[in-house]
Amino acid sequence: MENSLRVNLGERSYDLFFGAGILGRLRAELDAARVVGRRVAVVTDTQIALRQAGALEALGGDYPRLVLPAGEGTKCLAQLGRVWDFLAEHRLDRGSLLVAVGGGVIGDLAGFAAASYLRGIPFIQVPTTLLAMVDSSVGGKTGINLGAGKNLVGAFHQPAAVHVDTALLATLPPREFAAGMAEVIKYGLLGDAALLARLEREPLTFASGDLAAVVRRCCAIKAGIVEADERETAAEGGRALLNLGHTFGHAIEQVTGYGVYLHGEAVAVGLCAAARLSEKLGLVGASMVSRVDAVVAAHGLPVRLREPLPLDSLAAAMGRDKKVRAGGLRFVVLRAPGEAATLGGVDPALAAAAFREVGAA
């Protein structure tokens, strides 16, 4: 069964389509586009090419396809250049369609290539991981990492459509599914106390009967936030709320070289650190910290760093975070279950103390 959700952004509005086995619908749209002279190309990665070969063939086996290495390291300038060269080689123009089939890495990289090639061509997101389905495929944030930090280069470029085929999760490794749950937990913490309570009652798995409904609910929360603050310009709150746990998490990823922790694993530790910071600021009690730890652990995610990381390196990484304003860090903090806020002027010593409590040294 398929259903849809509209992201209302004026002329940049688009639909999200949800269901199991819905890629045939997209194939029909791509074939119709080709009939009227539009070129179509696909970017994916080696893991999708291996695990979802049938889906890729069904989507368009005869369309030009670029297969990139899997992993966070692919979100770099060198691989971006490969995508640009691929688009030029196959003579895509501004009326062409680029289809990003993969997790957050492929979606971010291909989306940035689409945003910058010929100063912008349309692209379609086909997320294949839970994390991409509930978070990164929605909202138009595209980009790559630099050695200095995560997502420091990018552009806002909304997709033409997002096709969320939950059947693709059948081949997702358990570790990757758990990583996606960090973002689901984040949505419960920042915007839906009922969703948080549901996750606390019973861990969400691929076999859960309400998986599709939870995915759609996360997308609806994000769509509402994006509609209100598309380019993250709100002085307080707004789209920045989506970074709950991410200031800590991005620092972990950078210090460990983008290979030790999956993004969702780093965010999970970041959520636990953010809860502790919120407690130190007097915004929530110790019970909220315990709840965050418990729901994170119940979904197979780390509550603490696996090995100690140097606090000075983590602090330096946070200082290069793209959410820094006027030289000062802004954190997303918890005020209550299902309610978060942005906060500047946080004492760095409190953030450091929160990081120590999740394993920094």
Across residues 159-185, what is the average pLDDT?
97
User: Is 157 known to be catalytic?
Assistant: no
Strand partners, 4: 17
Active-site residue, selected from the candidate residues 75, 150, 163, 250: 250
Q: What pLDDT is stored for residue 321 in this prediction? A: 74
Cβ-proximal residues to 32 (8 Å cutoff; 6+ apart), any chain: none
Active-site residue, selected from the candidate residues 157, 163, 222, 291: 222
- What is the three-state SS of 83-102? HHHHHHHCCCCCCCEEEEEE
CA–CA distance from 305 to each of 211, 293, 302, 309 (Å)?
Answer: 28, 13, 7, 8
142: left (phi over 0), alpha (psi -120 to 50) or beta: beta
Band (pLDDT 50/70/90 cuts) for residue 61 is confident
User: Is 263 known to be catalytic?
Assistant: yes
CATH 3.40.50.1970: does it fit domain 3-171? yes
Active-site residue, selected from the candidate residues 157, 239, 280, 291: 239
Q: Is the model's pLDDT at 326 over the cut of 80?
A: no
User: Is 246 known to be catalytic?
Assistant: yes
User: Is 151 known to be catalytic?
Assistant: no
Rounded Cα gap, residues 263 and 299, in angstroms = 15
Active-site residue, selected from the candidate residues 72, 176, 232, 265: 232
Give the global pTM: 0.94
Q: Is the model's pLDDT at 72 over the cut of 70?
A: yes
User: Is 236 known to be catalytic?
Assistant: no
Across residues 336-357, what is the average pLDDT?
96
Domain ranges within the chain, ordered by starting residue: 3-171, 174-357
Q: What CATH architecture does domain 174-357 belong to?
A: Up-down Bundle (1.20)
CA atoms within 13 A on the CB side of 145: 22
Residue pair 275/357 in contact by the 8 Å Cβ criterion = no
Residue pair 273/354 in contact by the 8 Å Cβ criterion = yes
Q: Per-residue b/e over 5-18, b at no fewer than 16 CB within 10 Å? A: bebeeeeeebebbb
User: Is 216 known to be catalytic?
Assistant: no
Across residues 85-104, what is the average pLDDT?
98
Closest residue by Cα to residue 249 from 290, 301, 197: 301
